Amino acid sequence: MSDRVADRVKGLKGSGIREFFDIAQQTEGAISLGVGEPDFVTPWSIREACIFSLEKGYTSYTSNWGLLELREMISDRVYTDDSVYYDPEGEILITTGVSEAFDLAVRAIANPGDEMIIHEPSYVSYKPCTLFTGGMPVCVDTVVEDEFKLRAEKLEQKITDKTKAIILSYPNNPTGAALSIKDVEEIADVVTEHDLLVISDEVYGKLTYDGKHTCFSSLNGMKDRTILLNGFSKAYAMTGWRLGYAAGNKDIIEAMMKIHQYIMLCAPITAQMAAIEALRCGDEVERMVSEYNRRRRLMVEGLREIGLSCFEPKGAFYTFPSIENTGFKTSEEFAKRLLLEEKVVVIPGSVFGAPGEGFVRCSYAVSQYEIKEALKRMGRFLERHRVV
């Protein structure tokens, strides 16, 4: 037995950058802007509700679909916030994070050879998950001149008769881009015209700073075509709880549930009990968003002051400055040297797909103090490496 590992896994691009990440994890005294999760601890009322549920003995499996009470609350919340109604029985599935929900969504709809359009730079798991199903990822670039928005014209150019779905991911990780109503309506027109499905990952939907996020399925005619993915990680600072959900058309959600029941059975009940409390305490989200907004402004202005051009992000908690007027050829080289010389961790944009090259992702889900200190160190670094 010479090949212990299956071909489809071996075929995955080995992450050459992992070595850099390992060093980053271990560097003493480093300030990390490489974080992809809130620096807030889960609000106490949520933690307290979970502890209480354990004391009461809620430790069993739940329905494969997830607790009905939680599905009902999600249904109410989505209806209140986004004016789109999902039936808690059959149109909502509770999953182990949005990661699982995404995997289920792709597996539920993609036949081998089906093309999935992915805009880049984008979150790293869309491509591999598509490949696992035998589907074909087709990438469409988004560029800083368009504020990293997916443009309908560009999208249309990538559509073939094999296109099954578009994976939409706004507010976006890593760019912080968000779409306006007009932007999403133009995309919806393309979706209708070409009879496509949309997997819309809206996990950063509550974190916007320039107008409210538009839920894709709330657009005219889109509910039936959209698998809406969302979760509790970013909005409620619950990353480690692993809880998300998918909402959509009954047939597709039913298909996702079939897979889910065999691979996951159900999401952990402790996390589900906590999520019920999370949906009750909306104030905390507002408080976190206004704090993120202050940090966002500090970071963007600070990056510009030290000489990096930086597009103004409208959502999530990332900035995506350009490194074009530095002496570095690649974002990876920039990130490595910055860590080595000044102990600041940023993520090379190339990790998020080829169009991310030339940029680095800097998270502002860190304290104001850390933002200021990181900017000071980066300023020194750039003084040394600026191209005159």
Partner 1 sequence: MNEKEKQKKDEILRILEENARLSDNEIAKMVDMDEGGVKAIILELENSGIIRKYKALINHDKAGIETVQAVIDVKVSPERNTGYDSIAERISRFPEVKSVRLISGEYDLSVLIQGKTMHEVAYFVAEKIAPLEGVRNTVTHFLLKTYKENGEMYEEEEKGERLAVTL
Hey, which residues between 123 and 152 contact partner 1 (CB under 8 A)? 123-124
Q: Which is nearer to partner 1, 253 or 303 (CB)?
A: 303
Q: Which is nearer to partner 1, 91 or 147 (CB)?
A: 147
Of the candidates 59, 111, 290, 309, which one interacts with partner 1 according to CB under 8 A?
290
Helices (H), 205-330: 250-263, 269-280, 282-305
Q: How far is the CB of 32 from partner 1 (least distance, A)?
A: 4
Is residue 34 part of the contact set for partner 1 (CB under 8 A)?
A: yes
Nearest to 12 by CA among 103, 171, 129: 129
Q: What is residue 194's three-state secondary structure? A: coil
Q: Using CA atoms, how far apart are residues 167 and 305, in angstroms rounded to an integer?
A: 35
Q: Which stretch binds partner 1 (CB under 8 A): 157-165, 190-198, 292-300, 326-334?
A: 292-300
Q: How far is the CB of 39 from partner 1 (least distance, A)?
A: 7
Is residue 37 part of the contact set for partner 1 (CB under 8 A)?
A: yes
DSSP 8-state assignment for residue 16: T
Q: Using CA atoms, how far apart are residues 366 and 87, in angstroms rounded to an integer?
A: 38
Q: Which is nearer to partner 1, 30 or 269 (CB)?
A: 30
Q: Using CA atoms, how far apart are residues 63 and 378, in angstroms rounded to an integer?
A: 50
Q: Using CA atoms, how far apart are residues 108 and 133, in angstroms rounded to an integer?
A: 9
Q: Which is nearer to partner 1, 165 or 299 (CB)?
A: 299
Q: Which is nearer to partner 1, 36 or 282 (CB)?
A: 36
Q: Are 135 and 113 in contact (CB under 8 A)?
A: yes
Q: Which stretch binds partner 1 (CB under 8 A): 2-10, 76-84, 323-331, 345-353?
A: 345-353
Q: Which is nearer to partner 1, 245 or 317 (CB)?
A: 317
Per-position b or e across 175-199, b if 16+ CB within 10 A of its CB: bbbbbeeebbebbbebbeeeebbbb
Q: Using CA atoms, how far apart are residues 272 and 131, in angstroms rounded to an integer?
A: 30
| Count of CB atoms situated within 10 Å of the CB of 41 | 10
With contacts defined by CB under 8 A, how many residues of the chain interact with partner 1?
29
**Which residues lie near partner 1 (CB under 8 A)?**
21, 24-25, 27, 30, 32, 34-37, 39, 41, 123-124, 173, 240, 290, 293-294, 297-298, 301-302, 345, 347, 351-352, 368, 372
